[in-house]
Amino acid sequence: MNFGVIGYGYWGPNIVRNLRGIEGSEVVAIAEVSSSARTRAQKAHPGVKVVSDAAELFKSPDIDAIAVISPVWTHYDLAKAALMNGKHVFVEKPFTSNSAQGEELIELAESKRLTVMVDHTFLFTGAVRKIDELIRDGSLGRLYYYDSTRVNLGLFQHDINVLWDLAPHDLSIMDYLIKASPEAIVATGQGHLNGHEDVAYMTIYFPDKVIAHINVNWLSPVKVRTTLIGGEKRMLLWNDLEADEKLKIYDKGVDIDSREGVYNLLVSYRSGDMYAPQLEQVEALRQELSYFIECIESGSRPFNDGQAGLRVVRMLEAASASMKRKGELVAL
Amino acid sequence: MNFGVIGYGYWGPNIVRNLRGIEGSEVVAIAEVSSSARTRAQKAHPGVKVVSDAAELFKSPDIDAIAVISPVWTHYDLAKAALMNGKHVFVEKPFTSNSAQGEELIELAESKRLTVMVDHTFLFTGAVRKIDELIRDGSLGRLYYYDSTRVNLGLFQHDINVLWDLAPHDLSIMDYLIKASPEAIVATGQGHLNGHEDVAYMTIYFPDKVIAHINVNWLSPVKVRTTLIGGEKRMLLWNDLEADEKLKIYDKGVDIDSREGVYNLLVSYRSGDMYAPQLEQVEALRQELSYFIECIESGSRPFNDGQAGLRVVRMLEAASASMKRKGELVAL
Amino acid sequence: MNFGVIGYGYWGPNIVRNLRGIEGSEVVAIAEVSSSARTRAQKAHPGVKVVSDAAELFKSPDIDAIAVISPVWTHYDLAKAALMNGKHVFVEKPFTSNSAQGEELIELAESKRLTVMVDHTFLFTGAVRKIDELIRDGSLGRLYYYDSTRVNLGLFQHDINVLWDLAPHDLSIMDYLIKASPEAIVATGQGHLNGHEDVAYMTIYFPDKVIAHINVNWLSPVKVRTTLIGGEKRMLLWNDLEADEKLKIYDKGVDIDSREGVYNLLVSYRSGDMYAPQLEQVEALRQELSYFIECIESGSRPFNDGQAGLRVVRMLEAASASMKRKGELVAL
Amino acid sequence: MNFGVIGYGYWGPNIVRNLRGIEGSEVVAIAEVSSSARTRAQKAHPGVKVVSDAAELFKSPDIDAIAVISPVWTHYDLAKAALMNGKHVFVEKPFTSNSAQGEELIELAESKRLTVMVDHTFLFTGAVRKIDELIRDGSLGRLYYYDSTRVNLGLFQHDINVLWDLAPHDLSIMDYLIKASPEAIVATGQGHLNGHEDVAYMTIYFPDKVIAHINVNWLSPVKVRTTLIGGEKRMLLWNDLEADEKLKIYDKGVDIDSREGVYNLLVSYRSGDMYAPQLEQVEALRQELSYFIECIESGSRPFNDGQAGLRVVRMLEAASASMKRKGELVAL
């Protein structure tokens, strides 16, 4: 499988390194508009063709698939050109700048029988796989809430707000884990520096009283990456910054008793052991790219396909609309 | 100064112990409806009169001031009766069940020239005093945001939602620190067990792009008490569960440069030392009750007076209304 | 059971409060040489007789048992006088200033059929009870090492070194958990301020290659209370400063393979889940004092008896001797 | 400057990568006895000659300097051969297996006017540089103690004990920071698996009551990398596993008052702010290798020269001897 990679900024080098490390996969060309980034690419990968114009990749008969690792506003044009030229496409998240673009790309890929994968890398980590298992096998019980905090100082992007920059991680994980369709979104936020919101909060309403909340912030003095998930039977805390013990599962919960009188508590608390399961030590991106190759070869549809990417984009669109109107409820 | 204390549940014993420990202050009677709590009170304080009917306290000519440490729905009636009988009043937070009650109590106290204090204990901690100092002296610079998380498993209250139970802490601190008047509130949440919301989120819009957010949750497997405050010059993290280093101040920030082009970052980050100032080691409640006595004696108005209590109640009312209508913006 | 308590400094108030809280137990008198401490005692316990001379307690026919909560150099005289007057004795740790004193007290108590208990409070905590269970039931497998760190700034005592001040906690816990008899001790340390060592390290050799090490320090800027215990099957970390998750048990270990050659590793590592068991939430001192009363009433010998206290004193003696001679091995 | 690198196991790849990244430096050959490691080396560095026999490097006229990154028992032979052939030498730590070897290499290098550097990488980290600055400028005041803990599960080496594996880090840092000459060493330890000690403790006595202690352990379920340094004026905690705030400096200390009487404390504690200075973000190994090249070019002697390496080897020898004789004091 021969790859072309467009974009060699922050994330592109990881894509190239991993694709080159997979048996049977090769990167034949890299396109990048910045000359200094091209120099870096060429130095790190002497045998690979490095060009400034992505069009060279679309035209190349040697290339089977193209990875689009450039800013979000370029995704639609680049992915469309790749698909039009018969290339499978791996697109950085968020998938597209709006849902209409996403829908069009999905349709185009289907009509050409090409595979589209959106880079929701976290779905391939040991932590998310383990949480998924705990939800699937009933360990957590009925879900109550999903509450994620993803804050740090920067990376400030100048062309999108903090929701589009940081929340795609959380939304793609939440979409994968909860599986139900969200009903409506409320978002609030504020921009202090360049016109785009740098602090933002999203509430997502799901059926059956499941509620999700995402706190993203570019102006935090400390880096936080924590997700709390509460279920009827168990609750968990995922702290992605912990070297070990990233995932802690608490045998804790609440039982409701019948109402007895105004001064009595109605509830009792269960509190038991905590355990931190050992997680698979895999490089998630390597796993994801191997899976992309497998899906292309077998013709099967990846779970992180264009539809998954589109669901995330629709939530981002709804959240941006809600945020602009100060928390107005936007149905999905 | 002779005190009567109404309510000897979770917080009442701390009030009694502290009042008795202050030079020149004495507790002469405790009223409590629960007989087991009365037994505990009598055992701990053999010399103090313990009764079931609060009316005995209102009538007693020996009592100068009454502390109302009972559930929120009883505050209005008890505080009103105390004021009608010429007693100064110290009321547990939140002040009242609604703003009309709060307004009436304030008016009544003024007409009788009596002192009302609302128990916003946190304002007397070393951490909040230090943060206030850092804001006042310009160390943080122009404020950007105030973001607080206060979650744990229980204490579940059956007659109010989690906002009314946990957010008064954050709202009273925020009100004290930010000082500006909030313009509008958006709140979301969900109840899973007994009809009251057990998970809730509030966004509070202030003038000049200051935004505040409060995350409260009765269903969290872990206890969290953290507040992030971001300013133009410095940012801070207050973790109230740390034994030492509760407050960390970061010499970090963002500087905006002029726009240069679509691929260039618009901002630069300043990153310097962190320091954790030594905080005053005081028992906040003792300080607050001493201040109450001072205010009564001097006739001066406490900063945590009925008006401060009312401001918090108004935010809680607005938040509850917003939450019921799924995040509808409620102006203040 | 009527108690007299000698010493109302730092720890005495906890003894009095707990003894008074136990059904069927009462404190009838407190002896304390400091007049300001006597005033505090009298204020907190108006109904209790407070005296300056401990002799009044020994003579009192109302008193069944005496708690000696005074500095270590006074233990022997006070405990001896108590026993001579037919009182059971509860002695603060370390038991005595030297082993000869301890032996004499044990003999005296036996000849008079009186109960002696040494206040090894930690043995009654949920954490130590759980660790003991894990060792007893084979969960840890054969023990490899016991490694404890107990450091903080102060409390500096002027009449003993840091080993006698802090290590009795660790030694009593180690003695209880390991059960085997230590063979020899090596200790090193240094005094920087008043002639007594303020930084000290002990290695204790046990049979079967079990090794223990204790690090105590009065000059540490941070407080640390951690114990690592390594076994063939599992290993654990006990951090007593954690509010929750004090005890973490790791399914980790090392397996030795046959030697293959100089460049191959000889060992493989097992790494599995971690779990933090819920610990009993008990006030350890209350449990210990109840157990003291039970032992007196039933005539049974407590496991933290004079012999347990003496074993700790012997280790302290050996360690002090070793430390004076810069780490010379001292057999036990 | 052309380099040959001997050893491409765990650390060798970092040496090669960094040498190749330095302007004006190139790696022309790698020697490695393991064929699978040679394959890895060749794949990562297609243009570099990879051989099995180190002799090819010694003979090569193209090579100016050789990095010896192989097991410690091979250092002496390889470094000697390199020096005999006129190559400058960079040797992995510990320098040699015994002090006689180290002395001989130093002499040989001097007679041939060649540069020897021992890879004490930590001396080039932002943390150690900052601590050195704090000691030099008097911020800490007179030193009291240096106490380091370096424990984890593995990496178990089969030909040396845990002291020789882990303590060289601490000893080289301590040697650099304290600068005084240690007077004597006491070490204890125990081996549980393959005849070599896997748990070990060292106390190092310095003049002027400075004491150092090092705790190393291959059988710990958790990884710990902390160093406490106590001084008369300030104290610090260096936790190398923290992503931010690796170094915390405490404005804490102890003041001794004149003796007043047996019940009065002799000391008072100063407790002030803590601050965590921002540390230089440098890749330490890159800095060290650049410094090696500079020293060769200028003919100046590096501070981490053979003498520094020899001082560490002497302490390891003394510690091993002491440990064998169960803590016998070994003078240096």
Locate the domains of chain C by residue range.
Answer: 2-114, 123-283+314-331
Instruction: Name residue, tokens 């090409």.
Output: A114
Query: What does the mean pLDDT of chain C come to?
Result: 94
Query: What does the mean pLDDT of chain B come to?
Result: 94
* Nearest chain C residue to B222, by CA: C244
- As a whole number, mean pLDDT of residues B70-97 equals 97
Q: Is B247 helix (H, G, I), strand (E, B) or coil?
A: strand
pLDDT computed for residue D88 by the predictor: 98
Residue C306 C-alpha from the chain's centroid: 12
Q: What is the pLDDT of residues A15-34, one digit of tens each?
A: 999 999 898 899 999 999 99
Tokens of A322: 């809600």
Q: ipTM greater than 0.95, yes or no?
A: no
Task: Specify whether the CB–CB gap between C221 and D227 falls below 8 A.
Answer: no
Q: Are strands C65-68 and C88-92 parallel, antiparallel or unpaired?
A: parallel
Closest to D15 in 3D by CA, of D25, D5, D24: D5
- Report the distance separating Cα C166 and Cα C94, nearest Å: 10
Q: What is the pLDDT of residues A164-178, one digit of tens each?
A: 999 999 999 999 999
Contact call for C241 and B243, based on CB within 8 A? yes
Closest to A269 in 3D by CA, of B296, C321, B156: B156
Q: Which chains touch D (3 or more CB pairs under 8 A)?
A: A, B, C
Mutate which of D274, D279, D280 to disrupt the B interface (most B C-beta within 10 Å)? D274
Tell me: pLDDT of B268 over 80.
Answer: no
Residue B160 C-alpha from the chain's centroid: 16
Contact call for D222 and A244, based on CB within 8 A? yes
Please state which of the four CATH numbers 3.30.70.260, 1.10.150.130, 2.40.30.10, 3.40.50.720 is assigned to the domain occupying A2-114: 3.40.50.720
- Report the distance separating Cα A242 and Cα B92, nearest Å: 39
Question: CA distances (Å), D34 to each of B220, D6, D61, D225, in order?
Answer: 52, 11, 25, 31
Task: Specify whether the CB–CB gap between B168 and B160 falls below 8 A.
Answer: no
B275: nearest CB among D244, D271, D273 = D273
Task: Specify whether the CB–CB gap between D305 and D37 falls below 8 A.
Answer: no
Contact call for C47 and B47, based on CB within 8 A? no
**Domain D123-281+314-331, CATH:** 3.30.360.10
Tokens of D118: 């021992």
Q: What is the C-alpha R_g of chain B?
A: 21
- As a whole number, mean pLDDT of residues D88-105 equals 98
- Report the distance separating Cα A65 and Cα A116, nearest Å: 10
- pLDDT-derived band at A271 (thresholds 50, 70, 90) equals confident
pLDDT computed for residue D47 by the predictor: 85
Predicted TM-score of the model (pTM): 0.93
- As a whole number, mean pLDDT of residues B81-94 equals 98
Kindly state the helix (H) or strand (E) to which residue C72 belongs, with its residue range: none
Q: Residue B277: its chain D contacts at CB < 8 A?
A: 273
- A157 min Cα distance to partner chain D (Å): 23
Q: Residue A243: its chain D contacts at CB < 8 A?
A: 223, 241
**Mean pLDDT lowest among B200-204, C21-25, C83-87:** C21-25
Contact call for C222 and B244, based on CB within 8 A? yes
* Nearest chain B residue to A144, by CA: B192
Q: What is the pLDDT of residues C96-140, one digit of tens each?
A: 999 999 999 999 999 999 999 999 999 999 999 999 999 999 999
- C58 min Cα distance to partner chain B (Å): 29
- A200 min Cα distance to partner chain D (Å): 25
Q: What is the pLDDT of residues C38-50, one digit of tens each?
A: 999 998 888 899 9
Q: Residue B198: its chain A contacts at CB < 8 A?
A: 144
Instruction: Name residue, tokens 């060792």.
Output: C135
Residue A291 C-alpha from the chain's centroid: 16
Residue D57 C-alpha from the chain's centroid: 26
D186: nearest CB among C194, C237, C326 = C326
Tell me: pLDDT of C221 over 80.
Answer: yes
Contact call for A222 and D244, based on CB within 8 A? yes
Q: Is A39 helix (H, G, I), strand (E, B) or coil?
A: helix
Q: Residue D140: its chain C contacts at CB < 8 A?
A: none
Closest to D135 in 3D by CA, of D246, D210, D242, D224: D210
* Nearest chain A residue to D221, by CA: A244
Q: Residue D274: its chain B contacts at CB < 8 A?
A: 244-245, 275-276, 278
Q: Residue D276: its chain A contacts at CB < 8 A?
A: none
Task: Specify whether the CB–CB gap between D54 and D32 falls below 8 A.
Answer: no
Task: Specify whether the CB–CB gap between C118 and C95 falls below 8 A.
Answer: yes
Q: Which residues contact C224 (CB under 8 A, 6 or more apart)?
A: C149, C150, C151, C152, C241
DSSP B253: E
Residue B310 C-alpha from the chain's centroid: 11
- As a whole number, mean pLDDT of residues D175-200 equals 94
- pLDDT-derived band at D262 (thresholds 50, 70, 90) equals very low
Give the percent of chain B with pLDDT over 90.
86
- Report the distance separating Cα A100 and Cα D175, nearest Å: 65
Amino acid (1-letter code) at residue D124: F
Amino acid (1-letter code) at residue C118: V
Q: Is D158 helix (H, G, I), strand (E, B) or coil?
A: coil
Task: Specify whether the CB–CB gap between A293 and A1 falls below 8 A.
Answer: yes
- As a whole number, mean pLDDT of residues C160-182 equals 96
Give the percent of chain A with pLDDT over 70.
95
Q: What is the pLDDT of residues B144-196, one digit of tens each?
A: 999 999 999 977 667 899 999 999 999 999 999 998 999 999 999 999 987 89
Q: Is B100 helix (H, G, I), strand (E, B) or coil?
A: helix
* Nearest chain D residue to C273, by CA: D221
Contact call for A222 and D243, based on CB within 8 A? no
Q: Residue C256: its chain D contacts at CB < 8 A?
A: 193-194
Chain D residues with a Cβ under 8 Å from any Cβ in chain B: 244-245, 251, 271-278
Q: Which chains touch A (3 or more CB pairs under 8 A)?
A: B, C, D
B276: nearest CB among D244, D273, D277 = D273
- Other beta carbons within 10 Å of D212: 26
Long-range contacts of D10-14, Cβ-Cβ distance < 8 Å, separation of 24 or more: D10/D155, D11/D69, D11/D92, D12/D37, D12/D41, D12/D69, D13/D40, D13/D41, D13/D44, D14/D285
Chain D residues with a Cβ under 8 Å from any Cβ in chain A: 46-47, 222-223, 241, 243-244
- C253 min Cα distance to partner chain A (Å): 14
CATH class of the region C123-283+314-331: alpha beta
- As a whole number, mean pLDDT of residues B221-236 equals 96
Tell me: pLDDT of D257 over 70.
Answer: no
Tell me: pLDDT of C268 over 80.
Answer: no
DSSP C229: E
Alpha helices in chain C (DSSP H): 12-21, 35-44, 55-59, 75-84, 99-111, 126-136, 162-178, 284-298, 306-324
Question: CA distances (Å), A283 to each of A25, A114, A125, in order?
Answer: 17, 26, 7
**Domain B123-279+314-331, CATH:** 3.30.360.10
How crowded is the C-beta side of B21, counted as CA atoms within 13 Å? 14
Instruction: Name residue, tokens 């002030």.
Output: D272
- C255 min Cα distance to partner chain A (Å): 18
- Other beta carbons within 10 Å of B154: 16
Q: Which residues contact D299 (CB under 8 A, 6 or more apart)?
A: D113, D115
- Report the distance separating Cα D310 and Cα D245, nearest Å: 33
- Name which residue leads in pLDDT, C239 or B259: C239
